Amino acid sequence: MLGGTTESRRLVAADVGHGWISSVAGRTRQARAGGEGVRVGGFGGVAGLVDYLRAEGIGAVVNATHPFAATMTAHAFEACRQAGTPLVRLLRPGWADHPLAESWTWVDSHAEAARALKDAHRPLLTVGRQPLPHYRALPRAVARVAEHPGGVWPDGWEFIEAVGPFALDSERELLGAVDALVSKDAGGSDAKLVAAAEHGVPVVMIRRPELPDGSVVVADQGGVLAWLDALA
Ligand code: NAP
């Protein structure tokens, strides 16, 4: 299980029938704490993952990483191809078909999103911690992150350290105090998007990275278990 997401944790907890090994990158304190059946840290690129799959005799790989974990997704695809290990991508549905989708400004990159914020006085950034350097030129921003990125940020920046899912009421309060929202097309709870629409806050939405050609994709836990059954 390539994890680091709510889906991956839920699936492994719910399915005791398979001998899961969960792998996390170890970006957060919670992830670094590890736990039973959890390995922490990168594999060392494609070659490292191929070695790992062979050494551990891994029978199948479920890539349940975040929809924007593009490097891990590409590495898993290539490593499983080389090792001959079956691979499935668990990818929750995105928001491209959301009823509000046409009201958002869709962009392909964080650089483009940052440019789209030129008229915002207090934008809310919900893009995670790693892409924040792309937004550094903004004099003011509210960045919601699981953990503070450290380092020095412009005086007008505020950080909210919090982990979702977030309730609609608290999203309403937060969105009422900003004048733009940047989000990745992560899928999952749309509370912040509903709250933004209620307050007339413009949304900049970053498109998902493309999947490797030939990826086998399922949308939920049931899809993974059916895929595993079919393998067996
Ligand atoms: P990424 O850019 O696709 O991956 C960068 C490198 O981190 C990979 O090449 C790999 O190192 C290592 N890595 C990533 N996921 C791993 C895993 N599950 N197990 C072991 N190594 C892993 O990924 P990211 O965007 O930095 O995300 C890192 C982790 O945070 C993922 O597990 C993801 O599910 C979780 N996460 C990401 C986001 C997001 O917005 N991107 C949001 C929530 C959670 P090697 O090349 O050395 O193997």
Asked whether the beta carbons of 131 and 110 are under 8 A apart, the reply is yes
Q: Average pLDDT of 16-26?
A: 93
Cβ of 63 less than 6 Å from ligand 1: no
What does the pLDDT look like over 148-184, one tens digit per residue?
999 999 999 999 999 988 999 999 999 999 999 999 9
Cβ of 47 less than 6 Å from ligand 1: no
Q: What is the secondary structure of the chain as a DSSP string?
A: -B--SHHHHHHHHH--SS---EEE---SHHHHT--TTEEES--SHHHHHHHHHHHHT---EEE---TT-HHHHHHHHHHHHHHT--EEEE----STT-TTGGGSEEESSHHHHHHHTTT-SSEEEES-STTGGGGTT-SEEEEEESS---S---TEEEEEE--S---HHHHHHHHTT-SEEEEE---S--HHHHHHHHHT--EEEEPPPPPPTT--EE-SHHHHHHHHHHH-
Q: Using the structure block, give the residue that is written with the tokens 């290539």.
A: 78
Asked whether the beta carbons of 165 and 146 are under 8 A apart, the reply is no
In whole angstroms, give the CA distance from residue 20 to residue 12.
7
What does the pLDDT look like over 108-141, one tens digit per residue?
999 999 999 989 999 999 999 999 999 999 999 9
Asked whether the beta carbons of 59 and 85 are under 8 A apart, the reply is yes
In which order are the strands placed within the sheet that holds 217-218?
A: 61-63, 87-90, 217-218
- pLDDT for 41 equals 96
Q: Given the DSSP bridges, would you call strands 38-40 and 140-145 parallel, antiparallel or unpaired? A: unpaired
Across the chain, mean pLDDT equals: 96
Cα-flanking dihedrals φ and ψ of residue 142, to 5°?
A: -115, 120
Which of 29, 66, 77, 145 to probe ligand 1 with, by most ligand atoms within 8 A of CB?
Answer: 66
Q: Average pLDDT of 88-95?
A: 97
The model's pTM is 0.94
What does the pLDDT look like over 30-68, one tens digit per residue?
778 878 889 999 999 999 999 999 999 999 999 999 999
Q: Is pLDDT of 88 > 80?
A: yes
Amino acid at 107: V
Percent of the chain with pLDDT over 90: 90
Cβ of 66 less than 6 Å from ligand 1: yes
Which residue puts its alpha carbon closest to atom 45 of ligand 1? 42
- pLDDT for 28 equals 80
Asked whether the beta carbons of 139 and 194 are under 8 A apart, the reply is no
What does the pLDDT look like over 179-202, one tens digit per residue?
999 999 999 999 999 999 999 999
- pLDDT for 32 equals 81
Structure-block tokens of residue 70: 């593009």
- pLDDT for 17 equals 87
Q: Which atom of ligand 1 is nearest to the CA of 186?
A: 40
In whole angstroms, give the CA distance from residue 84 to residue 95.
33
What does the pLDDT look like over 203-229, one tens digit per residue?
999 999 999 999 999 999 999 999 999
